[in-house]
Amino acid sequence: MKSQSTTLNLRQNLATFIIMQTTAIKQIFLLLSVAFLLLTACKDQLVTEGTIVFPDSSVSYGSHIEPLFTTRCLGCHNGAYPPNLSPPSYSALVTYQPQLIIPGQGNNSLLVQLLDGRAAPIMPPSGEMLNQNQINGIKTWIDEGALNN
């Protein structure tokens, strides 16, 4: 009888142990899934913030250029380095010397050349360049008259 109940106890202990293990594994798995979801969610958010997509025409200073400056340039151009691109930044940009913008001539404008690397120092000076769509968008905005639109 005694040995039988010991075996039973052992079995029960083993069963409890296995159940506890399974629960622990489930909990770890759940924690990992939550962590993974949080990480991917944050990453997605960063990508969306950094990716401002410009249209082929009718580029707007307020809807496209200023938000792009805010995400990609404000880290340094918030008063630390001129031009100060904190919103509203239009007048700081168009009155800056040396002249950054020749309305109607995007390709000849220093601003575009600083962004595509034809003029030094390339902007931003570290990290990823603006993408081709964004550089083209700024060029188009200048071609369209560099308006405060």
Which residues of this protein are in contact with ligand HEC, per CB under 6 A? 69, 72-73, 75-77, 81, 83, 98, 100, 111, 114, 121, 123-126, 130
Distance of closest approach, residue 92 Cβ to ligand HEC, in angstroms:
10
The residues, any chain, with a CB within 8 Å of residue 90's CB and separated by 6 or more, are 61, 66, 148
Q: Considering beta carbons, is residue 52 or 143 the nearer one to ligand HEC?
A: 52
What is the closest distance, in whole angstroms, from the C-beta atom of residue 145 to ligand HEC in the complex?
A: 19
Q: How far is the CB of 35 from ligand HEC (least distance, A)?
A: 30
State the sign of the Cα–Cα–Cα–Cα dihedral 59, 138, 106, 111: positive
Eight-state DSSP code of residue 9: H
Specify the residue, 9 or 95, whose C-beta has the smaller distance to ligand HEC.
95
CB of 146 to ligand HEC, least distance (A): 14
Alpha carbon separation from 140 to 1, 28, 89, 123 (Å, rounded): 92, 52, 18, 18
How far lies 120's CA from each of 25, 30, 125, in Å?
A: 56, 50, 9
Judge contact between 148 and 61, C-beta under 8 A: yes
**Residue showing tokens 């220093």:** 110
Tokens of residue 104, six digits: 């109607």
Nearer to ligand HEC, 59 or 123 (CB): 123
**Residue among 8 and 117 whose Cβ is closer to ligand HEC:** 117
